[in-house]
Structure 1
Amino acid sequence: MAYAGAVREPPVLTEQEIADVRAWVIHEDEHVLAFNKPAGLSSQGGRIQAHTLDDLLWAFARSNGKRPDLVHRLDRDTSGVILAARTKPAAGFLGKAIEARRFQKTYVALVSAAPDPASGVIEAPLLRQEIGRESYMRVAPPGTPGSQTAQSRYRTLAHSVDGALVELSPVTGRMHQLRVHMAHIGRPLAGDVRYGGALTFAGMAAPRLMLHAARLKFPHPSGGYLTLEAPPPEDFGLLARAAVL
């Protein structure tokens, strides 16, 4: 995790990029900034030659040259709530809260059929693999060297013969955890071709991963807990309404 105040060369942002990132803000105070990240935007370090959300945070730089820094990530095609710290103390506080599993993340996703049972807990260790320039996760037998314990909760919110809308909550925070766990129980996420998801949903195109970070509850640096929510993007909502809502 990068901490606020790190020395780096600011990118050159266009007026449109500055307007866009400011429009994505869903919460702002002296300690934190939160955004509803659009799908298709890398959080940090993407290989695509385009600005990441981390780059766009320079739009909020202060006169002393310090700027907010992300405290967690979302996959490039995952939309929804993502948090940045505005100060180094806030970044340190939130980093420790993540390590202590005090962040409660809730996602919604689309799958081709309702899970059976309709709700439950998935406990399956995950092992990271590098294939070419890509990183993958796979379920591994318990005790596999290099594997990490992983636990996810799921709940079916609505379903029909065309598909299902599910709520997902990671207990642990492994890379691609929700995607791999849902594929493990035979319900890969719509649009997630990396882990077996189809590019269609309810007879309509699902050209990207249909996963949205809908809610984040976390301890605030000034005390207490803060809960933030973000509505799904238009393409997600369109598919959900067509099939199950």
Structure 2
Amino acid sequence: MQIQQISVSGLFGIFDHVIPLNMMDERITIIHGPNGFGKTVMLRMLNGFFNSRYSVFRTIPFSKFQVKFDNGSSIEVVKTFDSSEKTKKRNHIVFNFYEHNLEKVSFSLKATNTPTDLDFPVGIIDEIIPGLSQVSNKFWRYIPTNEILSLNEVIDRFEDILPLKTKLREEPKWLENLKNDIHVRLIESQRLLNFDPSRSSRLYSEATTMLPTVSAYSDELAHLIQSKLAEYGTTSQSLDRTFPARVV
């Protein structure tokens, strides 16, 4: 079984894309388009599904993501938004699998079962997850969306980033079989992210921090400006001290 087509509806609230894959001998598909239209995001969603990195579906705005296979079957990820007071504006994500002449089977991506004992200190969560800042003992602010998240919500949203050894969710057999049949690997250029060793956790050696490239460039520019100002001050003082001798 091979992937024949991937598509998305409502990406970022405005884009609908359909990408048929080249199934000929070379099996190479080139995806091109303007920056910001969601090319890499669609590949992340594809990688997220087949490698159980489901947090991508919680953080990326979309309504439906679908993968069609060459045997006529398909899987779709549907995201709906519930703004009722009881659910506290949670997103509901459902996987629907369709096979020829068989009834649709579904799996709801519910909240994870938070383990009682974590495999790492809670205090380093904001060092592991980019954009997360601890605001109290039990709550964190996710800076990109300005949301306040509890520990359960952090684990639920970023389960694939956190170094968890315990399986947090039981999945149906059909879903496990489907993911085992398709092998997906995403190789990102990380042109927008840089590794920041200075902010990596000293308590957990595997925890790394990614810094936006624009932030890295601005920090580097600020450092260069400070360095040149210091150099200018030193040169200016030296010239002031030697001015009488140079005049004579």
Compute the TM-score of the two structures, normalised by the length of structure 2. Answer: 0.27
More strand by share: 1
Compute the TM-score of the two structures, normalised by the length of structure 1. Answer: 0.27
